[in-house]
Amino acid sequence: MVRLGIKEIESTEKKKKRESGLTLIEMVLVMALLGTIFLATYPVFNVSLNIWQRQDGRQQVIQTARVAMARITEELRYGSAV
């Protein structure tokens, strides 16, 4: 059976504490990778948003035209001859 002294136990606890966290270099690398991913995906998101906004405008125009056509049809259908 192996017995560890107090100093060995303390040194292994210190090693575990040091190994449990992230280093500054690791954090900087993660931030750089996330920034690169964001910069790579932003143009795709921006183009998608522009397309959606254009389509939304077109949809509103089409809906207004449908309402107008329905109103005209109703007026012609139920209107009296002059």
State the pLDDT at residue 78.
87
Q: How far is CA 33 from the centre of its chain?
A: 16
User: pLDDT digit string (tens) for 13-52?
Assistant: 666 666 677 899 999 999 999 999 999 999 999 999 999 9
Question: 14-24 burial, b for 16+ CB within 10 Å, e for fewer?
Answer: eeeeeeeeeee
E-assigned strands of 1-82? Answer: none
